[in-house]
Chain A
Amino acid sequence: MPELPPLKKTGTFNEIDRRNFLSFMLASGTAAMVGCATQGPSAVLVSNVNPPEEWIPGKSVYYASVCRECPAGCGLHVCNRDGRVTKVEGNPHHPVNRGTLCARGQASLQGLYNPDRLKTPLQRSGSGQLEPSAWKETIDTLAAALSELGPQRDASSLVFFSDILGPSFSALVGKWMETIGGGRLIQHEACGYEFLKAANRFTFDREEVPGFSLENARFILSLGSDFLETWLSPVEFSSAFSRFKEYQQGRIGRLVQIESRCSLTGANADDWLLIQPGTEPILVLALIHIILAEKLGRVGQEDLARIESLAAPFNAEKASEITGISSDVIYDLARSFAHERPSLALFGGVSSISGKATLTQAAVNLLNYVVGNIGETVLYGADLYPARLNSYRDVLQLIDEMNAGKVNVLVIHRSNPAYDLPFTSGFQSALEKVPLVVVLSPHLSETAARADLVLPIHTPLEAWDDYSPREGVWGLQQPTMRPLLDTRHAGDLLLQVANQLSPRKDDSPLPQNYYQFLRERWRELQARERPDLEFESFWNLAATGGGVWKDFSSQPVSLSPSLGDIQVRDLLSSETVQSQELTLIPYSSVFNYDGRGSNSAWLQELPQSLTEVVWDSCVEIHPETAQKLGLKQGDVARLRSEYGEILLPVYVQRWIHPDAVAVPLGQGHTHFGRYANGRGANVASLLNPAAEAGSGGLPWLSVNVQVQKANARHQLVTTRGELSQGQRQIAQTISLNQMQKFFRTGESEGSGNHETANLYPPHQHPAHQWGMAIDLNACTGCKACVVACYAENNNPVVGKDQVARGREMSWIRVESYAEPGPLPGYTFLPVLCQHCHHAPCEGVCPVFATYHNPEGLNAMVYNRCVGTRYCANNCPYKARRFNFHEPEFPSALDRQLNPHVTVRIAGVMEKCTFCVQRIVEAKQQAEKEGRNLMDGEVMPACAQTCPTRAIVFGDLNDRESLVSKRSRDPRAYHLLEHLGTRPAITYLKKIRL
């Protein structure tokens, strides 16, 4: 684990400064450096009126905040340059993400600068169209509708429907509804965890979601849980996973992933087992059965007896028959799980939540319980965020009420239920029964398009709020720039409406604005948590640090007396599917999640994990099944379920159950914005709307589909090359045995010393020699680095057609390799410019636009480049990108551009610079302070964001730097070493069990 970087300067954003912020939106001198090459020099220098103290033109100010792209609640450090937010990074001190961020977190910038954000409120006119309207008018309409509700009303007449809220905002909504006469709050997330809550209630009488400590485990058994992608807190788990996989004392952790479609987590597993979709509970009960039968359990006799009575009917042979996993493997799994302690069993993720999800989770709880994992790897008391969410069943009830005409005003905040919910749940048509539907959202959505009023609100990067992802963590979300557009804070809107209904008195429970309300709430928190501090110092501490946090104490659990009520018997009698239909596996990916970020050009252009498809969606089908159905890659298939049908292009891949097809969530938008609309299809139109009986959650995996060939072809663009690397040794691996042997005897297998004779004299690097080390054992292929690079280096997106021509502009790409066979066993290989000592690109440039600089960088001088493309032709790593077209940054995406990096123009070659602008900045800072650069002080954007810290950057001249140490590792090798290019990037081989 590399050392975390020192805390960057973080400031508070107090009220007065915010007001003055407009004045330095365009501020002064640094406009000279603003890299808007396409727009010519700016003719004016705009002076500030009254700048905040911490502001220096041309210098970055970092504000601590909270990421709200998913409910995990990672901490942010947001870089503000001259009033514009240009980069988000993880907050190194935040307990959830410890300085790192995922691809979606990085892309939150494009939510802020989304060119399709609403500029004015919209109101449905007499003709039935949504038309721009003035703020006053729309607020009056809302206030009038609310006042018409009258005092003696049903609580259902006003419903506030939202995605997950922070503690203060939900308190505000509660108070607001109380003040204006009552109503109901529903917090709903498309990817819910009802089964986790319900199962914990069944097994341990605790309706909470516990914490999971992956790094403490030696063996992880994951049943479809995509903890590296979207499950609960993927950044936190990715980081923990890298520690789990780290080579320590002769061993590494072992992950067994059991699922019906290979997820990114499955691709990183040591063993991957294909299971008949929906049969997970039988497997888990069989594991418990074996553990108990072989007396490997570690709990009291009484508990054992109770669990045994549940698991008794499930022997390995029977389970093998149903699940399709051989009984030997089941025995081996059970024994490993009991012996390699502490172990950890995980379940969940959209792709595995079937109608039996609660039962499966209950069995998983018992499995963890019998071997004594509770308190070691499963930590009750953490109380993760899903506890606050309403269940899907509550939403169904709301739909009933809407249909019955009980709901008069429905306020939908940030959420997009018309897109997320199964279409046959009837939400869309129920909206028409509600007299006034109000959507609070920064941009248009499928829900907003059906609303009567759409009020544009701030994005999270512009708004005050707080968020608590688990017990003991309170993140303070502060605005990181002045609102880009004429939008309002959702909280302020509510307060304004309440004020209009009954003018505020001094004793009103509602404050004047949300900021005030938030501070009052935090005053209470301070009294509780830090009574030793003055409030103002507490507040400043929280604002500069990104929040306050403490450890939670893990609590013991005991088996619930109602355990016997769990009905497991009928699992065995359940019918086996004998139809021509295939099971539909919807899945959420690390990039699309539930589709809320789909209007990001970065995320669209990012090759999807494993399929590497860009700007599209597809249905994944096993090669045998595809053959049977007469489908080839790129054919359009018609998927028809009982509930609806969609058309999607076929992607043939072998690591999926032959009786299933998989479709990702997140595409198929119709009213979301220019980048999202009309791509792929929305899986929600196929889903079964019935809630799972046990938990009230949405059982994603409960639909069978007929797949037919539609008479059409669709161009699926993928950046994938050959999946198998054959004998080429590109992404290398080493076996654990070889590692152990090395540490025992000091002998490495030797990657072969490829030192070749060279006609050129060696380069001298007197001051620094920058280098990078990439640990393939840690890389999970999450591609956060790719998006971070786009954000830092002003890389343009080029669109599907251009990617199809191989003209994508990403400076770093993550290649994936897997060999044919039952086990995917992917190796992910981030490839960027290798900054070769003997760079093949340099010698062929006729104009010296690229050369080896004295610090070991392969420099690229854009203004010298004449675009011969000889260099790209000669680069064996395909690391160079050519601007075939003038880059486009439709407003306001141009505001995101990093002023320290030139925006390249058409006809110019570009490639990774090792974030040279960061090197320059750090060197200047060190020079100013009269000291040497410290190791870890310079961090390129890719290394900074990497959730697993696979990428390390530093000075190879410093023998003690982390990168030097890693480049001497027995696992070290260089890419295409035999070519004699002597790259500055060292790769560390992946360790295979």
Chain B
Amino acid sequence: MRSRPQDKNTDFKMSSKAMARLMMGTCVLAAILFIFFLGSDTPSAAAQNQPIAFSHRLHGGRLKLDCQFCHFYASRSSSAGVPSVRHCMRCHDQVESKSPEVQKLREQWEKRESISWTRIYDLPDHVVFSHQKHVQAEVACAHCHGKVENMETVVRLQDEFTMGWCIQCHREKSASLECLSCHL
């Protein structure tokens, strides 16, 4: 059997001096990045630009609604889906109907117009990801999306969903490492 790139163990040898220099460099870089991210308490600027100030902390955290109460396509399709305006209105027709943010929602509903949410998560176009498959395999939503119930507005857990990050989990869980599982 020919080895595939992900199976390869690359022998990586380096002198101890070079190693020390590299480690030093890495530490400095890490420190700079740490300070940079500490300084900005909202990592994703986009997060603030949602058309309606929907709180995941309130819905998922305080009210303890299950993720799939709203993202109910996750177990049925590759896409988890954003809830439809109708779905929001099922509760908010009565609940908190006076709140200015809910008023915005009602306005959309009455105009029969959709809401354009700012996208937080995206994958490159050459990747196919199935929520259904991962829900079936009982991977917790938080595994990729973080503790959304603690976030007022959703921020990305991962800066990028890199392939290495996916593969790591696939290895741990003995999931498929076949290229065609994700690249079609």
Do A and B associate with each other? Answer: yes
Using a CB–CB cutoff of 8 Å, the interface residues on chain A facing chain B are: 20, 23, 28-37, 41-51, 56-59, 760-761, 848, 851, 853-854, 857, 859, 861-864, 900-903, 913, 916-917, 920, 924, 927-928
- Contact partner of B117 (CB less than 8 A), chosen from A32, A44, A57, A854, is A44
Nearest B residue to A44, CB-CB: B116
User: Can you pick out 24 interface pairs between chain A and chain B where the beta carbons lie within 8 Å of each other?
Assistant: A29-B81, A31-B119, A34-B125, A37-B125, A43-B118, A45-B82, A46-B114, A49-B86, A49-B114, A50-B84, A50-B85, A51-B84, A51-B86, A57-B73, A57-B81, A59-B76, A760-B2, A761-B1, A862-B183, A900-B128, A903-B125, A920-B180, A920-B181, A924-B133
Nearest A residue to B109, CB-CB: A49
Contacts A32-B121, A46-B114, A50-B112 given: A37-B126 contact, CB under 8 Å?
yes
Q: Are A56 and B73 in contact (CB under 8 A)?
A: yes
Q: Nearest-CB distance from A241 to chain B (Å)?
A: 35
Q: Is B39 an interface residue (CB 8 A)?
A: no
Nearest A residue to B133, CB-CB: A924
Which chain A residues border B85 with CB–CB below 8 Å? 47-50
Q: Are B79 and A46 in contact (CB under 8 A)?
A: no
Q: Are A35 and B125 in contact (CB under 8 A)?
A: yes
Q: Is B108 an interface residue (CB 8 A)?
A: yes
Q: Nearest-CB distance from B76 to chain A (Å)?
A: 6
Which chain A residues border B131 with CB–CB below 8 Å? 29
Contacts A49-B86, A49-B109, A58-B79 given: A42-B115 contact, CB under 8 Å?
no
Bound-state CA distance A851–B125 (Å) is 21
Bound-state CA distance A854–B82 (Å) is 36
- Not counting A863-B124, A927-B136, a sample of 15 additional A-B residue pairs whose C-beta atoms are within 8 angstroms of each other reads A28-B81, A33-B129, A47-B82, A47-B117, A48-B84, A49-B86, A49-B113, A56-B76, A59-B77, A59-B78, A853-B178, A861-B179, A900-B184, A920-B181, A928-B132
Bound-state CA distance A864–B5 (Å) is 11
Bound-state CA distance A896–B123 (Å) is 21
Q: Are A58 and B77 in contact (CB under 8 A)?
A: yes
Nearest B residue to A851, CB-CB: B4
Contacts A902-B126, A928-B136 given: A56-B77 contact, CB under 8 Å?
yes
Which chain B residues border A34 with CB–CB below 8 Å? 125
Q: Is B25 an interface residue (CB 8 A)?
A: no
Bound-state CA distance A41–B161 (Å) is 14
Which chain A residues border B112 with CB–CB below 8 Å? 20, 23, 49-50
Using a CB–CB cutoff of 8 Å, the interface residues on chain B facing chain A are: 1-2, 4-5, 73, 76-86, 108-109, 112-119, 121-126, 128-133, 136, 178-181, 183-184
Q: Are A29 and B84 in contact (CB under 8 A)?
A: no
Q: Are A33 and B119 in contact (CB under 8 A)?
A: no
Which chain A residues border B83 with CB–CB below 8 Å? 47
Bound-state CA distance A44–B77 (Å) is 20
Q: Are A36 and B180 in contact (CB under 8 A)?
A: no
Which chain B residues border A20 with CB–CB below 8 Å? 112
Q: Are B132 and A924 in contact (CB under 8 A)?
A: yes
Which chain B residues border A903 with CB–CB below 8 Å? 125
Q: Are A46 and B116 in contact (CB under 8 A)?
A: yes
Which chain A residues border B128 with CB–CB below 8 Å? 33, 900, 917, 920
Which chain B residues border A57 with CB–CB below 8 Å? 73, 77, 79, 81
- Contact partner of A862 (CB less than 8 A), chosen from B5, B116, B126, is B126
- Contact partner of B184 (CB less than 8 A), chosen from A50, A902, A924, is A902
Contacts A56-B77, A916-B184 given: A47-B118 contact, CB under 8 Å?
no
Bound-state CA distance A558–B124 (Å) is 70
Q: Are B82 and A50 in contact (CB under 8 A)?
A: no
Which chain B residues border A45 with CB–CB below 8 Å? 82, 116-119
Which chain B residues border A857 with CB–CB below 8 Å? 180
Q: Nearest-CB distance from A811 to chain B (Å)?
A: 14
Q: Nearest-CB distance from B105 to chain A (Å)?
A: 10
Which chain A residues border B113 with CB–CB below 8 Å? 23, 49
Bound-state CA distance A859–B183 (Å) is 10
Q: Nearest-CB distance from A770 to chain B (Å)?
A: 11
Determine which residue in B4, B83, B85, B123 has the highest number of CB atoms from chain A within 10 A of its CB, and name it.
B85
Which chain B residues border A916 with CB–CB below 8 Å? 180, 184
Contacts A45-B116, A47-B114, A58-B77 given: A917-B184 contact, CB under 8 Å?
yes
Q: Nearest-CB distance from A172 to chain B (Å)?
A: 30
Q: Are A58 and B78 in contact (CB under 8 A)?
A: yes
Q: Are B84 and A30 in contact (CB under 8 A)?
A: no
Which chain B residues border A31 with CB–CB below 8 Å? 119
Nearest A residue to B84, CB-CB: A48
Contacts A37-B126, A58-B77, A902-B125 given: A44-B118 contact, CB under 8 Å?
yes
Q: Nearest-CB distance from B137 to chain A (Å)?
A: 10
Which chain B residues border A49 with CB–CB below 8 Å? 84-86, 108-109, 112-114
Contacts A56-B76, A902-B183 given: A50-B86 contact, CB under 8 Å?
yes
Nearest B residue to A898, CB-CB: B184
Q: Nearest-CB distance from A901 to chain B (Å)?
A: 6
Which chain A residues border B119 with CB–CB below 8 Å? 31, 41-45
Q: Nearest-CB distance from B46 to chain A (Å)?
A: 8
Which chain B residues border A56 with CB–CB below 8 Å? 73, 76-77, 81
Which chain B residues border A901 with CB–CB below 8 Å? 184
Q: Nearest-CB distance from B138 to chain A (Å)?
A: 14
- Contact partner of B123 (CB less than 8 A), chosen from A32, A36, A920, A928, is A32
Q: Nearest-CB distance from A654 to chain B (Å)?
A: 45
Q: Are A859 and B118 in contact (CB under 8 A)?
A: no
- By Cβ-Cβ distance, the 7 closest A-B pairs, closest first, are A29-B79, A58-B79, A48-B84, A37-B125, A30-B79, A58-B77, A57-B79
Q: Nearest-CB distance from B59 to chain A (Å)?
A: 15
Q: Are A32 and B84 in contact (CB under 8 A)?
A: no
Q: Are A41 and B79 in contact (CB under 8 A)?
A: no
Nearest B residue to A38, CB-CB: B125
Which chain A residues border B118 with CB–CB below 8 Å? 43-45
